[in-house]
A and B are shown apart, each in its own frame.
Chain A
């Protein structure tokens, strides 16, 4: 059946690249919900998925990366994430703005990407926390610096791995495109 699908080599490589991004996203989601959610560190559950979404979006640009960020955030939300509806907007918008910022002002190197990941995760978690604080109040305020901030900071430990893997995957098809 594949012989009837007329795609160029570059298009095939594009499909391979985005499939690998998809598999990486699935693997990180499973790591986050199956393993890390059972092993809190300093009382906080770690969430490496938002940082991965930002890494991919920064590397692939705000347009293609933005479509990926929306799809990945929606998938995470529908998989049962707490206040996932908020993340569907906050994470893709944050990731797209990060991609624009890195291209316009900063660079695509590790440090700017890591800073963008930190900023997006902090904004996303803080937004959820504010909602939990007021609608109706189900968390105590001191949890912000006792649980949320350490959780976000520790989740950044995954960024170097994300960055390396995303950089590796993003190279697929680059040589053929030139």
Chain B
């Protein structure tokens, strides 16, 4: 077969190897982003159009095939609203009392300092070993690396890890590359939450470095502790299981992510928040 490889083919093989090396070096040095910037900027309008088309098709599909189930769900929700309105009336008095206590303690209302930028997801990373997606907004909308993406309910989705003029890549909490300083809301135990993608607990998060004597209950809320990157009090997930780690010294907990990443269409990037 060697005699069938022409000189030009051999040169092309060398060029492919050199290009791979060049891409690796520029990615490692974080200096040669112009190629990626150019390709992503060109691709973004196509991706936006394709994802808009997919969303439209999904809506028609839901309308045709899920109409009856939606109607039943609507009836159930109406009944639930009636029951909840009753609860709200009784909760109102408690809320007023709570507000007074907040004022008494000098606490400000939650999240008033947040500035948001909303963006639609236009594509997902096609790898089985990475959980990340691209949004159709970038530095021109004030989005840059190191900002946190959340849902409309304040649930952590991920972190902006790359940004161009009209696009940004968000690595989700499921990816093992992210580590978030977190606390168990009910007990105050601190730990680090990492993604468990492709490590045997797919779709779950792992909260490491919990104290050996910590008592953890299922469905306990886990929140961000607060840092220069992550604002305090954002919901990361709910505890589903706990055990001792390999060393037997510390405990770890498995969490169900609070944000439903499978059905995510739009995310909100916290562009500004009060670090204090």
Contacts and interface: CB of A to CB of B under 8 A. Distances in A.
Interface in B16-50: 16-17, 19-20, 23-24, 27, 35-36, 38-40, 43, 46-47, 50
Nearest to A105: B1
Interface string B226-248: 00000000000000000000000
Size class of B's contact patch? 35 or more
B124 A151 contact: no
B47 A30 contact: yes
Given A34-B54, A93-B17, A63 B9 contact: yes
Interface string A125-149: 0001100100000111011000110
A39 to B, nearest CB: 10
A151 B17 contact: no
A9 interface: no
Interface of A: 26, 29-30, 32-38, 40, 43-45, 47, 62-63, 66-67, 69-70, 73-75, 77-86, 88-89, 92-93, 96, 100-101, 103-105, 128-129, 132, 138-140, 142-143, 147-148, 151
B128 A151 contact: yes
B70 interface: no
Contacts of B124: 33-34, 37-38
Interface of B: 1, 4-6, 8-9, 12-13, 15-17, 19-20, 23-24, 27, 35-36, 38-40, 43, 46-47, 50-51, 54, 122-130, 132, 134, 162, 169, 176-177, 197-200, 202
A74 B126 contact: no
A138 B13 CA distance: 30
Given A44-B128, A81-B126, A85-B23, A93 B46 contact: no
Contacts of A79: 36, 39-40, 43
A45 B126 contact: yes
Contacts of B38: 78
Contact of A93 (B4, B6, B16, B24): B16
Nearest to B175: A138
A42 B74 CA distance: 32
Given A100-B1, A140-B200, A128 B129 contact: yes
B35 to A, nearest CB: 5
A34 B123 contact: yes
Q: Which has the most chain A C-beta neighbours within 10 Å: B16, B36, B47, B130? A: B16
A45 B16 contact: no
Contact of B9 (A30, A84, A96, A142): A96
A70 B15 CA distance: 8
Q: Which has the most chain A C-beta neighbours within 10 Å: B17, B126, B127? A: B126
B40 A84 contact: no
A74 B4 CA distance: 25
B40 A80 contact: yes
Contact of B20 (A26, A89, A96, A128): A89
A139 B122 CA distance: 26
A62 B6 contact: yes
A97 B50 CA distance: 34
Given A37-B125, A78-B36, A85-B23, A66 B130 contact: no
A138 B198 contact: yes
Contacts of B43: 29, 79
